[in-house]
Amino acid sequence: MKNLATLPVEKLLQKPRKLQFPGFPSQIDRFPDLRYMGSKRRLLPWIHQILDGLDFESALDPFSGSGAVSYLMKAMGRRVVASDFLNLSSTIGHALIENNKITLDGPAIRILFENVPTAHRFIEKTFRDVFYTRADLRFLDRVSGNLRQLDNPHQQALAMAALMRSCVKRQPRGVFTVSGDLSKYDDGRRDLRLSIEEHFLEQIEFFNEAVFSNGRRNYARREDVFKCSTENIDLVYLDPPYVPRSDDNCYIKRYHFLEGLSCYWQGLEIDFETKVRKIPKLYTPFSYRSTAIEAFDNIFRRFRNQKIVLSYSSNGYPDLDHLTDLLNNYKSDVRIFTRPHRYHFGTHEAVKRSTVTEYLLVGL
Name the strand (E) or helix (H) holding 93.
helix 87-93
pLDDT tens column, 264-280: 999 999 999 999 999 99
Residues β-bridged to residue 236 = 60, 308
In the chain, the amino acid numbered 105 is D
Residues β-bridged to residue 340 = 357
Provide the 3-class DSSP secondary structure of residue 279.
coil
Q: At what angle do helices 134-146 and 196-210 cross, to 10 degrees?
A: 40
pLDDT of residue 348: 38
d(Cα 183, Cα 174) in Å, to the nearest integer? 14
User: Quick one: average pLDDT of 12-40?
Assistant: 72
**Exposure class string for 144-171: b at 16+ Cβ within 10 A, else e:** bbbbeebeeebbbbbbbbbbbbbbbbbb
Q: How many CA atoms lie within 13 A of 229 on its CB side?
A: 9
d(Cα 222, Cα 343) in Å, to the nearest integer? 27
Q: State the pLDDT confidence band at 114, using cuts at 50, 70 and 90.
A: very high
E-only strand ranges, 253-351: 307-313, 334-345
Residues β-bridged to residue 80 = 59
Tell whether the model's pLDDT for residue 286 goes beyond 60. Answer: yes
Q: State the pLDDT confidence band at 120, using cuts at 50, 70 and 90.
A: confident
d(Cα 214, Cα 171) in Å, to the nearest integer? 33
**Cis bond leading into 244, ω under 30°?**
no
pLDDT of residue 174: 82
Residues β-bridged to residue 171 = none
Greater pLDDT, 5 or 50:
50
Name the strand (E) or helix (H) holding 236.
strand 235-238
- Alpha helices in the chain, H assignment, sequence order: 9-12, 44-51, 68-75, 87-93, 106-113, 122-126, 134-146, 153-170, 190-193, 196-210, 251-262, 289-302, 320-328
d(Cα 121, Cα 137) in Å, to the nearest integer? 8
Tell whether the model's pLDDT for residue 336 goes beyond 90. Answer: yes
Say how many Å lie between the first and final Cα of the chain, rounded. Answer: 29
pLDDT of residue 21: 60
pLDDT tens column, 211-221: 999 999 999 99
pLDDT tens column, 17-30: 455 566 899 999 99
Tell whether the model's pLDDT for residue 130 goes beyond 80. Answer: yes
Are the CB atoms for 75 and 46 separated by under 8 Å?
no
Going by C-alpha positions, the residue among 354, 345, 65 that lies closest to residue 178 is 345
